[in-house]
Every structure is written in structure tokens, then in C-alpha cells.
Chains A and B, each alone.
Chain A
Amino acid sequence: MRRPTEEAPWLRWVLCLAAVGVALLFLVLPLVAVFAEAFRRGWGPVAKSLSDPDALAAVRLTLLVAAIAVPVNLVGGVAAAWAIAKFDFPGKRLLTVLIELPFSVSPVISGLVYVLVFGAQGWLGPWLEERGVQVVFALPGIVLATIFVTFPFVARTLIPLMQDQGRTEEEAAATLGAGGWAMFRRVTLPNIRWALLSGVLLCNARAMGEFGAVSVVSGHVRGETNTMPLHVEILYNEYQFVAAFAVAGLLALLALVTLGAKAVLERAG
């Protein structure tokens, strides 16, 4: 007997094959190609291009930017989600929409906005320059652009969950004598920890991989303001394919480790 919601066997097979085929073609194949290109001449050239001082600087910068941007977005995202899910206040809908803004705006525009505001001809640029602070074409600009682009990840994963869980557990904690911090740490946080972790990991993956916004504000100074994605592009444009794919492979590896960690943690939760 076939259940009423079940399709004919041949149709099921076709659908499954189509899904797997698309995944292989568009997701797995490019990944394999990256590693295959990198290792075309064996380990030697890969090791050499990864130990290049400019490559190492790019790796260091990428990790540093992620190390600043992710914690900032962790705190900001949790605060925004907590406010939206647990309280009513004027402007709540607007805030909800604003959180999505970085997803809907092209990253290049996000970068340009920072150049407009902080650049040499920008609103705040000259004022900052007089005080010896350089934002654009330096670390602060890259960090700001990354924070902007990756802001939605934590908030977006938390808001639906927290709205679904409602406020009654927090209210119960309040009637039992808990203040705001105890309520958050002992009741809210344990209820959202797996979603939070998954949001943080996604945020991290994107922070390390962001190209567009960072490209606009970075200035592409080799060994100084080049993150890994930018470094890959420069190498590729210089026809250094092995080196480009080696760095790209490392970046992909970081992303894969992040996704793997997410999957493992979600299973544990």
C-alpha cells in the first residue's frame, strides 16, 4: 500500500538523483577542484606558497579580523535577539528589519559606505586623520566591514528559537527571585546554547571568507591589509595558480572544519 502523501517510486528516484546531482555538481565538484589544483605538483609547492611571508600575513590578518568580529557579533546578536524576542518596545519591527539589512545589501555597497564615512574625503575621515587614526585601508576598516556583513548570523539563528520558547521561563525565574543576569545565564542561555553555537560558527565562516566589503576597504596592501580571500585573488590574477589554490584550499579547509564542528555539536545537542 502506498501512503497518500507518497509519490510513485520512479518519481522519488528521479527527485533524489536530481538533488544529489545538483549537490555534487555545484557544491562538491568545486571543492574537489580547489584541492586538486593545489596539489597538482605535490606537497612541495603547496608548502612553499603557504610559508610565503605575504601568505602568512594574510592568514594572520584573517584570523585576527575573525577574532574581533565574531565576539562583537556574538554579544551584539544575542543582545538584539534577546531584546526582540523577550520584550516589547517601540521600533521593534524596525530593528528586526535592520538586522536583515546586511544580507540584502550588496557587500560592495557596505564597503563603499565605510569608505564614504571614514575615507580621506569622507565625513569623519579628515577629523580622524588629524588625530592619527586611519580606518579605511587599515585594520579598523576591515574589521568594521566584516562586522557589518556578518552581523545577522547570530541574531537570525536566535530570534525564531527565542520567540518560539516564549518568555514564561524567564518570568518564572523572576518570580523565584532571579535578577536579569541570573535569568539570562541560568535560564535563557542554556536554552539557546546550541543555536548560539551554530550561529557563531556560521558567523565565523563568513567572517573569514568575506570578500566584497573587505576588498573595498582594504586597499590590497600586500603583507598588511590583505586577508586570505584577497590574497587568493591577487595570486590568481598574477597567474600563480598553485599558490592561489593552496591558499584557497586552506581557506576552504577552515570553512569545512567550521561546518564539521557545527554538525558534531548539533548532534551532541
Chain B
Amino acid sequence: MIEVRGLHLRYGGVAALDGVDLALRAGEFVALLGASGSGKTTLLRSLAGLEFPDAGQVLIEGRDMAAVPARERGVGFVFQNYALFRHMTVFENIAFGLRIRPRGQRPGRTEIARRVEELLALVRLPGMGERHPDQLSGGQRQRVALARALAIEPRVLLLDEPFGALDAKVRKELRHWLRGLHDRLGLTSLFVTHDQDEALELADRVAVMRDGRVVQFDTPEALLAAPADAGVAGFLGDAVPVDCVVREGRAWFEGLPPVEVAGVKGGKAVAFLRPVDLLAEAGAGEARVAAARQDGRGVRLTVEVAGMLLEATPTPGWAPRRGEACRVTVLAARVFPA
């Protein structure tokens, strides 16, 4: 559906894209995840025809896009700050893509009005057509931007940090709603985010970008279970790097019991441990409860082991108290040679 081959783009001597390869299947919902400056927005803009790569190919539905300008790509694009036309009403914003079509393909006035109303209902803003963008909340603007992009009936939808400017609650609501919309309309979507929760929760597959390259492209489960390298492992799932030594198929830690690791060559290594990898239980042991705090998702436990502070998961039914001694078991670890 969308295929990117060996894309290179330099900005005044700095490589923004340094050989990107990526292939999306029709109907997929894919996240481009990476820190700022990793090239994810540049990649997205290259797909829309807003950036011009120095080398490489972009194919959409098998067609080479090199000579196709942005206005002919028929790709829906939602900008980070929405880029709504500030002097137009919501209605006119959404109708824009239809009104500027060449005479032969332009729908009639009543047809345009009908389509806009339909889109307003789709993004749950019925009756808001006469408002101006500055009279809307952030979440509403975001949905207008989406409706405007959908008006041209794109097969491909590109979204640049679609939830970036919204507060946490609106963000969560919109996430699920957007995913539902994608499924219902049969779109192929690619969205840029620096929020791993968003990417892992929403996407069918996640492309992790670093230094202008896609370092791993896989399902969220596979990314968490088998990160391609130490960088990806450290980036995902609040993992903390801990020094260890690999010997006889096991990783040995200071102050923690060893854990089985497969396929890592012996010697010094770094293990990435997530809160869910560490199980803490009451009883005499080398660890001590450094902090225990109740929040909306359960108990957040921090234990002190051999001078390190690690987040761990308490066994059910145990209410840890500060200073209490405890035992920590390592359930799993992703280990890379140091």
C-alpha cells in the first residue's frame, strides 16, 4: 500500500532521513515512534509530498510518487497544530478540498453541504459548521482537521502528533475514537508520536525511528518481547538499564537473583528491566521498600537493591510499607552485550 525504499534527505549537511525503508499493508494502523529529531515528521511529510527526498523512492498503491506533487497525491494529512484556515468557518474548512476541485469533478453546492454535514456528524461536531476555528477547543479543532482531511476521501491518512497538543483526558478519548474511525473507513494510516503508550496501545505495528532510520518495525508485543537493540529496549516500557554478567545462559546481577536469557554471548552485558519484570514479595531478602505509593493504576513500588532504585510489581495482597525488607524475583530481562 505504502512503500518507502532507501529514503535519504539532508538539511544543510544534517541527515534528517538516512536510508528509511518501510512497507505498510492496506488497512494497517501504524505508528512512527521516536524521540524528537529522529526524522519521523520528515518521513511523514515526504510521504505527503511536502518534503523532497534527495534519494530513494516513495510508492503509494504501487505508484512512484517522485513526480507527483502534494496536491495530486490524494493523501489526507492532519498537521500537528491542525493548520485550520483561520479566516474560514468550520464548514468552509471542511468543504475546501471539494470546492477547489476542477469544474468537472466538483460536486454541486447541495452535495457539498450534505457531505460536510456528514463529516461533521462523523467527527461528532454536528451543528458546529458556522463556528470559526478560534471558537473551538483543542480537541474540537483536531476533529475539524481530521474531517477536512477526510473530505477528499483519501485512502491513506497521515497524522503528525495528532494528540500532541491535547490534555491527557481528551487524548485518551480521541485515541480510541480515531482507531475506531480508521477501522470503520478502511483507511491505511500512519501517525507520528513520541509517546510510547500511544503507539503501543493504538497501532497494529510500530516503526521505531532513531537518527533518521527505522531501527525496528514490528507489532507492539514483539517490540516489548524482543527489542532489536539496547536503544529500543531502553526506549520502551519504562525499562531501566542494569549491569550484569552473562554466564551459562543466565544473567547474573548484584543483589538480584539470576534470570534465564537465551542467545546472548557470555561476558559483561546490560539488562533492561521493566516494572513488570520485577516481582517483589514480603519476607526477608536483600531488598528494601524505598517508596510505595497508591495511584489510579495500583501500587507503584520502588525497591532498593544493591544501591539501585528499581520500580517493581508487588505480589497481590501485599501492602508494602516504607523501609520493610522484601525479596525480588526477576521474571524476564532483555539483555544486550555491553
Q: Could you tell me which A residues sit within 8 Å of B by CB distance?
A: 168-169, 171-179, 182, 186-187, 190-191
Count of A-B contacts judged by CB separation below 8 Å = 64
Which of A172, A178, A191 lies in contact with B77, CB distance below 8 A? A172
Q: Name the contact of A171 in the complex, choosing from B75, B83, B86, B149 (C-beta under 8 A).
A: B83
In the complex, what distance in Å separates the CA atom of A172 from the CA atom of B145?
Answer: 9
Map CB proximity to A onto B143-170 as digits: 1 under 8 Å, 0 otherwise: 0000011011000000000000000000
Min CB gap B70→A, angstroms: 4
Say which residue of B48, B75, B86 sits within 8 Å of A169 (CB atoms): B86
Interchain CA distance A168-B86 in the complex, whole Å: 11
The listed residue (B81, B85, B101, B149) touching A175 by CB distance below 8 A is B149
Inter-chain CA distance A187–B48, complex, in Å, is: 19
Q: Which of B50-92 contact A (CB under 8 A)?
A: 50, 69-77, 79, 81, 83-88
Query: Residues of B contacting A174 with CB < 8 Å?
Result: 49-50, 69-71
Contact of B85 among A169, A177, A179, A182 (CB under 8 A): A169
Q: Determine the distance from Cα of A168 to Cα of B69 in the docked complex, in whole angstroms.
A: 16
Q: Is A178 in contact with B76, judged by CB distance below 8 angstroms?
A: no
Seen from chain B, the residues whose Cβ lies within 8 Å of a Cβ on chain A are 48-50, 69-77, 79, 81, 83-88, 96-97, 100-101, 148-149, 151-152
Given contacts A175-B48, A175-B50, contact A190 B81 (CB under 8 A): no
Q: Which residues of A contact B74 (CB under 8 A)?
A: 177
Given contacts A171-B50, A171-B70, contact A177 B83 (CB under 8 A): no
Q: How far is the CA of A169 from the CA of B73 in the complex (A)?
A: 17
The minimal Cβ–Cβ distance linking A238 to chain B, given in whole angstroms, is: 53
Candidate in B49, B85, B86 with the most chain A CB atoms within 10 angstroms:
B85
Nearest CB in chain B: distance from A166 CB, A: 9
Distance, CA A191 to CA B85, complexed state (A): 9
Indicate whether A177 sits within 8 Å of B50 (C-beta atoms), given known contacts A171-B79, A187-B85, A191-B87: no
Given contacts A177-B71, A177-B101, contact A172 B87 (CB under 8 A): no
* Chain A hits for B70, CB < 8 A: 171, 174-175
Q: How far is the CA of A169 from the CA of B148 in the complex (A)?
A: 12
Of the residues A172, A179, A182, A190, contact of B83 by C-beta under 8 Å: A172
Q: How near does chain A come to B81, taking the closest CB pair, in angstroms?
A: 7
Q: Which residues of A contact B71 (CB under 8 A)?
A: 174-179
- A-B contacts, 24 of them at CB < 8 A, read A168-B81, A169-B83, A169-B84, A169-B86, A172-B85, A173-B96, A174-B69, A174-B70, A175-B50, A175-B77, A175-B149, A176-B97, A176-B148, A177-B71, A177-B72, A177-B74, A177-B100, A178-B71, A178-B96, A182-B100, A186-B96, A187-B85, A190-B87, A190-B88
15 additional A-B pairs beyond A168-B83, A186-B85, beta carbons within 8 Å, are A169-B83, A169-B84, A169-B86, A171-B70, A172-B77, A172-B83, A173-B85, A174-B70, A176-B97, A176-B152, A177-B71, A177-B152, A178-B96, A178-B100, A191-B87
Give the Cβ gap from B39 to chain A, nearest Cβ, in Å. 18
Nearest chain B CB to A226 CB, angstrom units: 44
4 pairs of A and B residues whose beta carbons are closest in the complex: A176-B97, A168-B83, A175-B77, A172-B83
In the complex, residue of chain B having the shortest beta-carbon distance to the beta carbon of A174: B70
CB distance from A173 to the nearest CB of B (A): 7
Q: Contact: B83 with A176, CB < 8 Å?
A: no
CA distance A128 to B75 in the complex (A): 55
* Given known contacts A171-B50, A172-B79, A174-B50, A191 and B152 CB-to-CB distance under 8 angstroms: no
Contact between B87 and A175 (Cβ–Cβ < 8 Å)? no
* Residues of the B chain whose Cβ atoms lie less than 8 Å from the Cβ of A173: 85, 96, 100
In the bound complex, residues from chain A placing their C-beta under 8 Å from that of B97 are 176-177
Residues of B within 8 A of A190 (CB): 87-88
What's the Cα separation between A175 and B77 when bound, in Å? 7
Query: Measured between alpha carbons, how far is A15 from B67 in the docked complex, in Å?
Result: 62
- Enumerate chain A residues within 8 angstroms of B86, measured Cβ to Cβ: 169, 191
- Cβ distance A183 to chain B, nearest Cβ, rounded Å: 9
A172: B residues at CB distance < 8 A: 77, 79, 83-85, 148
B147 to chain A, nearest CB (A): 12
State how many angstroms separate the Cβ of B94 from the closest Cβ of chain A.
Answer: 10
How many angstroms between the C-alpha atoms of A174 and B152 in the bound complex?
Answer: 12
Closest CB of chain B to A162's CB: distance in Å? 13
CB distance from A71 to the nearest CB of B (A): 24
Cα A97 to Cα B103 in complex, Å, equals 42
**Bound Cα distance from A173 to B100, whole angstroms:** 9
A residues near B77, Cβ cutoff 8 Å: 171-172, 175
Are A176 and B100 in touch, CB under 8 angstroms?
A: yes
State the CA gap A171–B71 with chains docked (Å): 9
Evaluate contact between B81 and A176: CB separation under 8 angstroms: no
Q: How far is the CA of A180 from the CA of B96 in the complex (A)?
A: 14
Q: Which residue of B lies closest to A173 (CB)?
A: B96
A168 CA / B82 CA spacing, docked (Å): 9
A176, B151: Cα distance in complex, Å? 9
From residue B320, how far is it (CB to closest CB) to chain A in Å?
A: 49
Cβ–Cβ < 8 Å partners of B101 in chain A: 177
- Residues in A with CB closer than 8 Å to B50 are 171, 174-175
In the bound complex, how far is the Cα of B79 from the Cα of A256, in angstroms?
Answer: 44
Bound Cα distance from A177 to B48, whole angstroms: 11
Q: How far is the CA of A171 from the CA of B49 in the complex (A)?
A: 10
Q: Is A176's CB under 8 angstroms from B96's CB? A: yes
- Residues of A near B96 (CB, < 8 A) are 173, 176, 178, 186
Residues of B within 8 A of A175 (CB): 48-50, 70-71, 73, 75-77, 149
